[in-house]
Amino acid sequence: MAIVKPFRALRPLPEQAAKVSAVPYDVVNTDEARELAEGNPLSFLHVSRPEIDLPSGTDPHSAVVYEQAAINFDRLIVQAPLIIEDEPSFYFYRLTMGDHEQTGIVACCSVDEYDNDIIRRHERTRKDKEDDRTRHIRTVRAQTGPVFVTYKPSMTIDALAQKVAGTQPLFGFRAPDGVIHTIWRIEPGFNDEITAAFESIPYLYIADGHHRAKSASRVREDLRSEEKEWSGIEDCNFFQCVLFPADQVQILPYNRIVRNAGDLSLDDILDKMDLDFDVMESSAKVPDRRGRFAMYAGGQWYSVKLRKEVTKPMKAIEGLDVTILQEKLFEPVFGIEDPRTDNRVDFVGGIRGPEAIQELVDSGKAVVGFVLHPTTVDDLMQISDAGEIMPPKSTWFEPKLRDGLLSHLI
C-alpha cells in the first residue's frame, strides 16, 4: 500500500506566491537562473541556485554555495515572508497549460517505501547530482522542491479533487511561460480520507525528480549513520511529492539531434538507414504513431519507419522508440554506442517542438535531427514494475511544477 502523510508546509503568502515561485533548479543553468531571478529578490532561485548571488565562475558545488543557500533561505523566510502552517495538511496542486489540465495531491511520501521499491523508479541517478541535492537539503534543512509522482487513478481521490476545486484556492497565478498554477489547502478533516484512499493503491511511480527522491533517502541514511540529534529528525523519514493520477499526466517526446556525423554525407546516412528502415521524403514533422520517426536533414523532412521484417517480439523497454532509435540507428549508422557520454548527441525537450530541430540543423549546429513519438505512462509503469531502467532522456513531462510554493522542513 502507498503511505502518504500531511505536513506543515512552509509557503508564501498568496500575494507573493508568483514572485517566490521558480522553475525547477535542474531545468536551467547558472546563467539562465541568474537572468530569471534578476530584479526579483524573492525568487526561489536564490535558494535553489544560490551561485547566482556569488561571483561569476564560482563552482556551484563549492561549500560557499551551500552556505549561501542557507543564508538566502533564512532571508527569504523573513522578507517574503514565508509562513508555516499551524496544522499538517494535504494540498491539491493544479497545472493548466492551454487545454491540458492535471490536478495532484501534495503530500509527504515514505522514504522506506522508496527504499523498498513501493515507490518505483525508471531512471538511474548520477552520484554528482545526488551529492548536490543531499548537501542542499542538509544545509537548508528542508526539501524545497517536490518529486513528481504518478499512480493508477482512484475514483475516490478524483471525486475529492472535484469537490475541492469548487472552493476558494489558497493561491493561483499565471507563470511567465503561460502555465497556470493553482493550489488549494485541504481542510485537515479530510486527512484520514486521503490517507485511506492511498492505502488501496499498491505502488507509486516517480515520473520526474529521481535525484530529489534519492537525496531524501541519502539524507536519512546519513543522519542515522551519524546518530545525529536533529530536531525534527522524524520528518527525514518522508519527502515531499505531488501525486498525479496517470490518466492526467502529459508526456512529450524527448527528441534528438546528431551534431557531427564524421565523414558521412547525407547520402551515406540514407544508404546505411536503408538496411533496416523505410525512409521517404515527407511534409510531416511529427510521427503519427509508435515505431515511426520524423527526420530532418539537408533542408528536408523524412518519414522513417522500422521495417516489419527486422522487428521481433520485444520486452517493454526494447519496444520504446528511444531504444529502437539507439539500437537500430544511432549505433549502427553513426557509431554512437552510449548517448550518455557521446557528445555528438544532444537532446531537445518536446515542448520546443520540431521547429527547434529544424533550426538546429539549418543553423549548422546539427547534421540531422529526429522527432519521436512520446513514451506513454503505461510504458513507464511497465518498465518500473519490471525493475528495468529506461534509456536516458526517454520522457519529457510538461507542464513543470514550480519550486518554492510549498517546502517540507526537516
- The residues spanned by each domain of the chain are 4-249, 252-397
Task: Determine the pLDDT at residue 1.
Answer: 78
CA–CA separation, 323 and 299 (whole Å) = 26
Give the residue-averaged pLDDT of 318-330: 92
Radius of gyration for the alpha carbons in the chain, expressed in angstroms and rounded: 22
The alpha carbon dihedral of 288, 289, 290, 291 has a sign of: negative
Give residue 104's identity as a one-letter amino acid code. G
pLDDT tens-digit map of 261-312? 999 999 999 999 999 999 999 999 999 988 899 999 999 999 999 887 656 5
pLDDT tens-digit map of 113-132? 999 999 999 998 989 999 99
Give the residue-averaged pLDDT of 101-116: 96
Give the residue-averaged pLDDT of 19-33: 95
Task: Determine the pLDDT at residue 230.
Answer: 52
Query: CA torsion, points 11, 13, 19, 20, in degrees to nearest 10?
Result: -20
Which range is least confidently modeled, 34-43, 81-90, 158-167? 158-167
Task: Determine the pLDDT at residue 243.
Answer: 98
Give the residue-averaged pLDDT of 219-223: 90
Nearest of 83, 190, 105, 187 to residue 151 by alpha carbon: 105
Percent of the chain with pLDDT over 70: 97
CA–CA separation, 31 and 233 (whole Å) = 35
Phi-psi category of residue 193: left, alpha or beta, with phi > 0 → left and psi -120 to 50 → alpha: alpha
Cis peptide before 399 (omega within 30 of 0): yes
Give residue 230's identity as a one-letter amino acid code. W
Task: Determine the pLDDT at residue 166.
Answer: 84
Residue 336: other Cβ atoms inside 10 A: 18
| Burial (Cβ within 10 Å: 0-12, 13-18, ≥19) of residue 114 | buried
CA–CA separation, 34 and 14 (whole Å) = 24
CA distances from 236 to 62, 70, 216 (A): 24, 18, 7
Architecture of domain 252-397: 2-Layer Sandwich (3.30)
Alpha helices in 80-175 (DSSP H): 111-115, 127-140, 155-165
pLDDT tens-digit map of 145-196? 999 999 999 998 999 888 888 889 999 999 999 999 999 999 888 899 999 9
CA–CA separation, 227 and 245 (whole Å) = 38
Average pLDDT over the chain, rounded to an integer = 93
CA–CA separation, 69 and 232 (whole Å) = 20
Task: Determine the pLDDT at residue 234.
Answer: 79
- Whether the per-residue pLDDT at 316 is higher than 90: the answer is no
227 pLDDT tier (thresholds 50, 70, 90) = low
In degrees rounded to 5, what are phi and psi of residue 73? Answer: -65, -45
Query: Looking at per-residue confidence, does 314 or 395 come out higher?
Result: 395
CA–CA separation, 89 and 187 (whole Å) = 7
Nearest of 49, 39, 38, 36 to residue 175 by alpha carbon: 36
Asked if residues 11 and 83 have their Cβ atoms less than 8 Å apart, the reply is yes
In degrees rounded to 5, what are phi and psi of residue 297? Answer: -160, 145
H/E run at residue 171: strand 171-174
| Burial (Cβ within 10 Å: 0-12, 13-18, ≥19) of residue 274 | exposed
Give the residue-averaged pLDDT of 331-340: 93
Asked if residues 150 and 207 have their Cβ atoms less than 8 Å apart, the reply is yes
Task: Determine the pLDDT at residue 311.
Answer: 61
User: How much is the pTM?
Assistant: 0.92
Helix (H, G, I), strand (E, B) or coil at 281: strand
Bridge-based pairing of strands 171-174 and 251-252 is unpaired
Which range is least confidently modeled, 163-167, 196-200, 239-243, 344-348? 163-167
Helix (H, G, I), strand (E, B) or coil at 209: coil
Asked if residues 258 and 325 have their Cβ atoms less than 8 Å apart, the reply is no
Task: Determine the pLDDT at residue 36.
Answer: 97
Residue written as grid cell 506513454: 376
- Whether the per-residue pLDDT at 351 is higher than 60: the answer is yes
Q: Bridge partners of 252?
A: 396
Percent of the chain with pLDDT over 90: 85
Task: Determine the pLDDT at residue 162.
Answer: 86
The alpha carbon dihedral of 73, 77, 78, 79 has a sign of: positive
Task: Determine the pLDDT at residue 47.
Answer: 98
- Whether the per-residue pLDDT at 313 is higher than 70: the answer is no
